[in-house]
Copies of this chain bind each other. A is one copy, B any other.
Amino acid sequence: MLSPKIAILGGGQLGQMLIQSAIDFNATIFVLDPDADAPCKDISHQFMVGDLTDYNTVYNFGKEADVITIEIENVNTQALDQLQKEGKKVFPQPNVIRTIQDKRTQKQFFADHNVPTSEFVLTESRADLDKHIGFLPAVHKLGRAGYDGRGIAKINSTEDISKGFDQPSVLEKLVDIEKEISVLIARNEKGAVSVFPVVEMVFHPANNMLDYLISPVVLPAGIERLAQEIATNIIEKLEMVGLLAVEMFLTTSGNLLVNELAPRPHNSGHHTIKANATSQYEQHLRAILGLPFGSTATIIPSAMINLLGEPGYNGIARFTGLDDALQTEGVNIHLYGKKFTKPHRKMGHITIVDTDRSQLLEKLRFVKGQLKVVA
């Protein structure tokens, strides 16, 4: 479908980059976000302020579109059910969003479909943790509404139980991680699947947010193929239409374990805008518009750094070291239209491309050292 009317639930940076790509398909874009100052507010054809979890708001918002999609999982899926019932294309499908938006049902889905994942137990309250002392050390994750390091607590021993959550959560056995990787994969209504080369994600030890990413990843023989097969199995079992990010651990013992899913364009795919033949945003659009998939081939090695608000700064964002960063060969900047910075807020990202991987890592260290978001 060309010239589609696309309704996007969520108006953050993922929505922004989706819009930048959707312009190429003559799309008319409606955006719904609770924040009147969201990144998409001025670049969509119609921007609505409203609660993404409210039935009537979501239903009325989606009614005028041809295709409804998301850039955040925490949305009212009952309204999406109704829109789907009325013949709208809702991709990813509401039942897929439901499975993924709760980390408990997500984990259960892995268990039910032979998807390798860390051992886990479901907990209903903080007190439940006392029953699983033998399971520690583990990671406690809130079922709903946790992301980007929120709603996650490391429980090493009984002393940490006070950090656990007193709401329905999942306790996941801690695994020894060699690398964290991400597999982006897309599927369309005909069941065709298209998978991207695997990328390595390096997380910041303090804030648990993505620190930088390298594409393509260097992995032991056979592991990349296996990761792609696992992702293929997941998207096929979900029967999902759209782009899915599958985050995995490669353990020190050489096993792949699926960590989490995100049924939408993902932070680990920003580099694809420049470094792959087709970007994750375009691939998602091709999937939900019923167009053939584009090539996912890496055209050049790349690295991606999130530009996070420096700790200790709150206020109107300023960038220091910008010139040094921008004059580094192969650097592109993407800002998210956020006026105010706060500690660890995602303000933008930098992509670096270089045919030489060691040069790439050197530039990455240089740019990370130079460029800061302050106030």
Instruction: Give A residues with C-beta under 8 Å from B.
Output: 2-3, 16, 19-20, 23-26, 28, 42-43, 45, 274, 277-278, 282, 286, 291-295, 297, 299-300, 319, 322-323, 326-327, 329-337, 339, 353, 355
Contacts and interface: CB of A to CB of B under 8 A. Distances in A.
Q: When A and B form their complex, which 10 residue pairs have the shortest distance between CB atoms, in order from nearest?
A: A292-B327, A295-B329, A299-B300, A26-B335, A24-B334, A292-B326, A42-B45, A20-B20, A277-B330, A26-B337
Given A42-B45, A300-B300, A332-B282, A327 B24 contact: no
Nearest to A45: B42
Contacts of A332: 24, 277-278, 282, 294
A43 B23 contact: yes
26 contacts: A2-B319, A2-B322, A2-B335, A16-B23, A20-B20, A23-B43, A24-B332, A25-B333, A26-B335, A43-B45, A274-B274, A274-B299, A277-B330, A291-B322, A292-B327, A293-B327, A294-B330, A294-B331, A294-B332, A295-B329, A295-B330, A297-B329, A297-B330, A299-B300, A299-B353, A299-B355
Contacts of A299: 274, 299-300, 353, 355
Given A20-B20, A300-B299, A353-B277, A292 B323 contact: yes
A282 to B, nearest CB: 7
A326 B45 contact: no
Contacts of A323: 291-292
A326 B294 contact: yes
Contact of A24 (B2, B25, B297, B333): B333
